[in-house]
A = this chain, B = another copy of it.
């Protein structure tokens, strides 16, 4: 099977979906000739023209708001937010409009649209190009939120998101773009929204995580295997609606759960996962459901020493898992 980078998988998915369905179009800042600041959309404007790969004005709320209208009128917009950090001006459109349109109209209107946004840190992005803001979106029923970790999932989930009848926030971890390579079959396939995946099986402890942290958790698991600790890694892939079944099944088997996430600890989505486990796998727990996340400081510092201080790493994850395993 061909090996692809995450960024290539995303570009492929966009291209294939635009070829397949002419109602699909892309809209965002710098996505045309520039190909986007990460070059995710490179080549698309060449192939599909400026009317289907629209360089929008610098206005996030309009990008989302206009996409909502277009989606209601039969199109399938794929809107790019240049950084996840800059999605905030569009919050009202996302939470009060896109996510509520179907329900508030008693199923008369739907908003089949995708909002792509590069999330996460570890790339010297500093305060305003590194945030993991998913918890701002996971208390919004009506929205779907996905965050693939691998090229395979990136392509399959983006296709699923584009074909979904509802608004999907599709998060791309910017550090995975060019650092994660993996097998991606040629041609069409879909990874269903709402399904987590066990990325590694194990018996002693379950790590539940998503995004870049999946890879760090797998690295940590490999380290711990040497020490005789067997780790299962559950990759959520979809945060909303979350696949509690897969999570609980794993934790009921291992008896221990470590929830790992890159966002600030307090109020992060990891709290949702940990509390679900605590409530519904209570009788199976051999140790406290433990959370490992970034510290509660406002953001990722730009300088390297402090970026490293802030970011999780395979080592930090291994240390937390080791401790919990020994409980």
Q: Write the residues of chain A forming the contact surface with B, with a CB cutoff of 8 angstroms.
A: 61, 85-86, 88-89, 91-92, 95-96, 99-100, 103-104, 127-128, 133, 135-142, 240-242, 259, 263-264, 266-280, 282, 285, 287-291, 296-299
Besides A271-B271, A275-B278, A282-B288, 11 new A-B residue pairs in contact (Cβ under 8 A), listed by A number: A95-B136, A138-B267, A140-B298, A141-B296, A142-B298, A241-B266, A259-B275, A274-B278, A277-B278, A278-B278, A282-B285
Give chain B residues whose Cβ lies under 8 Å from the Cβ of A287. 282
Partner pick for A279 among B135, B274, B280, CB 8 A cutoff:
B274
Contact B298 A275 (CB under 8 A): no
Contact B135 A267 (CB under 8 A): yes
Bound: A109/B141 CA distance, A? 37
CB distance from A102 to the nearest CB of B (A): 8
Contact A96 B103 (CB under 8 A): no
Contact A133 B142 (CB under 8 A): no
Contact B267 A275 (CB under 8 A): no
Bound: A40/B164 CA distance, A? 44
Bound: A278/B274 CA distance, A? 8
The 6 closest A-B pairs by CB, nearest first: A278-B278, A138-B267, A274-B275, A139-B267, A282-B288, A88-B92
Give chain B residues whose Cβ lies under 8 Å from the Cβ of A297. 103, 141
Give chain B residues whose Cβ lies under 8 Å from the Cβ of A266. 138-139, 141, 240-242, 272
CB distance from A103 to the nearest CB of B (A): 4
**Residue of chain B at shortest CB distance from A296:** B141
CB distance from A173 to the nearest CB of B (A): 17
Bound: A135/B243 CA distance, A? 20
Partner pick for A100 among B268, B272, B275, B299, CB 8 A cutoff:
B299
Contact A267 B264 (CB under 8 A): no
Partner pick for A85 among B85, B96, B240, B299, CB 8 A cutoff:
B96
